[in-house]
Amino acid sequence: MLVTGAARQLGGRFVRRVQRDPGVDRVIAVDAVTPEHRLGDAVFVRADIRRPAIARVLAEHSVDTVVHLDVSGKSLGAGGRTTVKETNVIGTMQLLGACQKSPTLQRFVVKSSTSVYGSAPRDPAVFTETTPPKSLPSGGFAKDAVEVEGYVRGFARRRPDVAVCVLRFANILGPEPDSPLADYLALPVLPTVLGYDPRLQFVHEDDVVDVLEIAAREPRRATLNSGTFNIAGDGVLLLSQCSRRLGRPTVPVLLPAVTWVGAALRAVGMTDFSPEQIRLLTHGRVVSTAQMRETLGFRPRYTTAETFAEFARGRGPGLLPPERMGRAVGRLAELPLPGGAVRGGGGAAHSTDGAR
Amino acid sequence: MADAKVLPFDDDRSRSGAGRRRGTQPGGGRQAPSAGGGAPVSALPGTQPHADPAGPEPGAQAPQGPPEGSGRGDWDRRIASGLAFLRRRVTGDYEVDEFGYDQELTDQVLMSLLRPLADTYFRVEVKGVENIPSEGGALIVSNHSGTLPLDGLMLQVAVHDHHPAGRHLRLLAADLVFMLPVVNELARKAGHTLACAEDAERLLERGEVVGVMPEGFKGLGKPFGDRYKLQRFGRGGFVSTALRAGVPIVPCSVVGAEEIYPMIGNSRTLARILGLPYFPVTPTFPWLGPLGAVPLPTKWTIQFGEPIPTDGFPPEAAEDPMLMFNLTDQVREQIQHTLYKLLVQRRSVFF
């Protein structure tokens, strides 16, 4: 089994996990940079998937399964958007080219994103795997993901003997945030788009590793693990709920001014506010996970709310922690009211001696 | 037609005495009077001798007196529940569904804001609410009018407040709603979603009551002279959606919404500049500015008609255009017929 993007947190976790699978003889971890975390017994090959050398790696180890995780929105270490885009798109092309020549390959899994659906006001509220996007993403990571999926589809057509699985993940949150959205949520004050409250879905990193393992193995009975699947936790959170649960105040910004704020934040290096990111934070995006449950046979352990709670625990309290806000409401309850009655916090125990 | 003439006068009399109890009438009668009987006159609480035990009791404000204990307890409960609500709000500890529907906010805040408009301002009279099934999906198809889509909101309040099973109406709204800031946020939280087949089907499969106005902007922005003339019912997509989901279609006629903003003109140039489907010119708007945007206090009637079952058709029926057109026409005719019937019964636009 060959895993790309092993230097990333998620790749590293998957490599370590999949070694324990008895059906996997050897794991070859590939990335352009040496990972900081340990990879267990996996063979690390430092190779850039943008170079044809990757074909040699595939042939040398007679790889039967490729898990392509090196599609992501954020660069690892140095390198800007161009490097990321090249790794995403050119890297995928090279890798697929190598895979096409490989006679031993049986399975190809690629990590994609639900951002391929874009987000627009004219979209249906819930995307299924077959919903065509109303407006294709114009740039950024979403466009990369669309292009990557296009190449993967082409590959699936040319190599019908290879089982191809495209996993479209909702926003991945884990203990180690590695996405533009996680960076955004880490801001002390969250700029939001005035008059919009997007619906967001999250998926926990543990669930991501689990589902990747399911996709990289032989399918279990009565399930099918080739095709395209949306992967997201159950339930939906609004951005306003997220900010309140994180305890971070929001600053609503008029839509035309949002791009300026985004540019300003990017300039000071705080976060990457790409246009598609802003679109997500304007209109939100919710996907249907019926296929994931019924066809792939995967049930996520964390709901969207639980994933977010884990994430919030890891981030520490914000400026307005929910507990303090709750206590503030409790104090409000203790204020003497015009009626003369005095009420205890929580409203459960009220004093009965007020009138006498 | 004889039917239509007998019913009106009877109904008129009963309507004039709003608070009066009356026996259940065969067909199209109002719900049990105890539920909402006193609602239309609640504008003058002082004149109302019978205090609702659950309602706001005037005695609760008085510090002393025998009813004080229960009154204070009642207020305490309300304040406690209000504070609990506030606490859940500020800590983000509430649930929304995949469409962004925030049931708690809708029940506690949005409906309370709309209720005075429905009960006191437009004095909405709701008839035939029992035609909406108590459980399972249903598609309510209504006429659309009034320049601003207040009729949809009133319909939502009507279903919410009058249906014995406390059903929530999920409206399908135009894409313009979801482009406008603030409006889209509130619409999503109130349970509305985009009028597209995917969303409608998903809601119906979950067993929700879905409301749709197939006339769309054609109905909403039609000139005053065309009032109560139903426009084309889209392409009949709502029928195939209902057929696929196998849910009944409940035709609904709204009388009164047509006159809230008598649209005497339409400034196409302004509409184009602003990117709106029409720009209304009424006797007061835009001449009086925001004051001109106050709707006229017309008297409304919302009548839910006999449901049209769709579960008897074979599954391939949803693909049959002829059947679609026939069913669409049937629904449209029924709404139009009911509209005329209600108009005959109506004594005046405002009372």
**ipTM of the predicted assembly exceeds 0.95:** no
Flag whether B274 is in a domain: no
Task: Report which secondary-structure segment, H or E, holds A194.
Answer: none
User: Rounded to an integer, what distance in angstroms lies between the CA atom of residue B350 and that of residue B347?
Assistant: 9
Tokens of A99: 């895979």
CATH of the domain at B321: 3.40.1130.10
Q: Which of A246-260, B9-23, B248-262 has the highest mean pLDDT?
A: B248-262
Best of A258, A329, A332 to substitute, by most chain B Cβ atoms within 10 angstroms, is A329
Flag whether B146 is in a domain: yes
C-alpha closest to that of A300 among A207, A238, A221: A207
pLDDT at A136: 77
Strand order in the sheet with A43-46: A43-46, A28-31, A2-4, A65-68, A107-113, A163-169, A227-231
Into how many domains does chain B fold?
Answer: 1
Flag whether B240 is in a domain: yes
> Please, which residues have CB within 8 angstroms of residue A6's CB and are 6 or more apart in sequence?
A12, A15, A29, A30, A31, A35, A39, A42, A44, A69
Q: Name the minimum distance, in Å, from the CA of A124 to any CA of chain B.
A: 6
Give the mean pLDDT per block of 10 residues along chain A (356 residues): 89 91 89 87 89 90 92 71 86 93 92 90 91 78 91 94 94 79 86 91 94 90 89 94 90 81 71 77 92 92 93 80 80 64 38 34
Q: Domain of residue B337: give its range.
A: 100-260+295-345
Is residue B171 within 8 Å of residue B208, measured between CB atoms?
Answer: no
- Per-residue burial over B84-109, b = 16 or more CB atoms within 10 Å of its CB, e = otherwise: ebbbbbbbbeeebbbbbbbeebbeee
User: Rounded to an integer, what distance in angstroms lies between the CA atom of residue A215 and that of residue A269?
Assistant: 36
Cα B262 from chain centroid? 20
- What dihedral do alpha carbons A10, A12, A13, A15 form, nearest 10°? 120
User: Rounded to an integer, what distance in angstroms lies between the CA atom of residue B243 and that of residue A212?
Assistant: 39
pTM value is 0.81
Residues 172 through 201 of chain A touching chain B, CB cutoff 8 Å: 193-197, 199
pLDDT at B116: 94
Intra-chain end-to-end CA distance of chain B, in Å = 24
Query: Do residue A195 and residue B179 have CB atoms under 8 angstroms apart?
Result: no
Query: Do residue A124 and residue B80 have CB atoms under 8 angstroms apart?
Result: no
pLDDT at B28: 38
Residues 279 through 298 of chain A touching chain B, CB cutoff 8 Å: 283-284, 286, 288
For residue B99, the 8-state DSSP code is: T
> Which amino acid is present at B49?
P
* Omega before B286 within 30 of 0, i.e. cis: yes
Flag whether B201 is in a domain: yes
Flag whether B271 is in a domain: no
Flag whether B20 is in a domain: no
Q: Chain B contacts of A341, Cβ < 8 Å?
A: 72, 75-76
- What dihedral do alpha carbons B311, B166, A201, A144 form, nearest 10°? 50
In tens, the pLDDT along B183-206 reads 999 999 999 999 999 999 999 999
pLDDT at A181: 86
Flag whether B45 is in a domain: no
Q: Which residue of A has its CA nearest to B96?
A: A236
> Residue B19: is its pLDDT beyond 50?
no
Instruction: Give the 3-state secondary structure of residue B266.
Output: strand
Query: Do residue B178 and residue A121 have CB atoms under 8 angstroms apart?
Result: yes
Flag whether B77 is in a domain: no
User: Hey, is the C-beta of A245 within 8 angstroms of any chain B C-beta?
Assistant: yes
**Mean pLDDT calculated for residue range B120-129:** 94
Tokens of A338: 């015009």
In tens, the pLDDT along A237-296 reads 999 999 999 888 888 888 778 777 777 777 766 566 677 888 888 899 999 999 999 999
Q: Which residue has the tokens 């309300």?
A: B78
